[in-house]
Amino acid sequence: MPSRGLKNAWPPAHLKDRNKIERQIGRIQARHPQVADLYTIGVEDNAGTLRVAWRKLEDRNQWQQARKGAYLLRTNVQSDDAEQLWKKYIQLTEVEAAFRVLKTELRIRPFFHHLERRIKAHILVAFLGYALWVTLKHLLRRRGLSLSPAKALSILSTLRSVDIILPTTDGRHIRLRRVTTPTDEQQQLLDRLDITIPERLDLDFECSADSAMR
């Protein structure tokens, strides 16, 4: 905000109203927040002529030089331990990241419930989904994989459990639950994660005559 340019351009000849001039100054300060606090700026009336008066704050200039290239946090939390304050701030960013995951990758859409038990159930499902997401993220890191949880789940997304229904001679049906065979890429990922997909799940049961599939 050089003094010569400011004196020559301000206030413009067509501006005679103090309030309009102050609003224009406010817009300039908003466009240049990185230096706006280095100056005091005001409008003065000199024998009926409005002029912009400004002064550079030397102590603020020193502060700007000291903070250049630094990451600063301002907080009202009373603590003498800078490391603890930083950890609390990182926790805040993790909470924000968790909400982004819930809304994007997990696609947990907002639902409007009228009963308290349904609200609690919705929160529980969201929490369990995020807990599994974080568990997968740390597992990928421990295994030295650069995949994100979203990418890993995308690779494994075609794995399915299917039910094979076998009719019996007495009119009932036997249901066998099986898992599809992983592709080569899926198997490599499962091996790196030390996860074994069973060929069958222990959910075999016989359907009663009333619940028989027709």
Backbone phi, psi, residue 99, to 5°? -65, -35
Domain ranges of the chain: 3-67, 82-153, 159-206
**What is the model's pLDDT at position 19?**
82
pLDDT, greater one: 205 or 77 = 77
Q: For the whole model, what pTM was predicted?
A: 0.47
Site of tokens 């995949």: 147
Q: Is 176 exposed, middle or buried (0-12, 13-18, 19+ CB in 10 A)?
A: middle
pLDDT band at 211 (very low <50, low <70, confident <90, very high): very low
* Cα–Cα distance, 27 to 137 (Å, whole number): 45
Q: Give first-to-last CA distance, the chain, whole Å.
A: 82
Give me the helices (H) in 157-197, please. Answer: 184-192
Closest C-alpha among 161, 155, 164 to residue 190: 155
**What is the model's pLDDT at position 18?**
78
The rounded radius of gyration (Å) of the Cα atoms in the chain is 33
- Coil/strand/helix, residue 6: helix
Edge-to-edge strand list for the sheet holding 173-179: 161-167, 173-179, 205-206
**What is the model's pLDDT at position 174?**
84
Lowest mean pLDDT among 2-6, 89-93, 112-116, 182-186: 2-6
Sign of CA dihedral 13, 16, 18, 21: negative
**What is the model's pLDDT at position 140?**
92
Six token digits for residue 178 = 């099986």
- Percent of the chain having pLDDT more than 70? 84
Calculate the alpha carbon distances from 156 to 9, 181, 189 in Å.
Answer: 64, 11, 9
pLDDT in tens, 147-175: 888 889 889 989 888 888 888 888 888 88
Beta pairing partners, 200: 178
- Mean pLDDT score of the chain: 78
* Cα–Cα distance, 127 to 188 (Å, whole number): 29
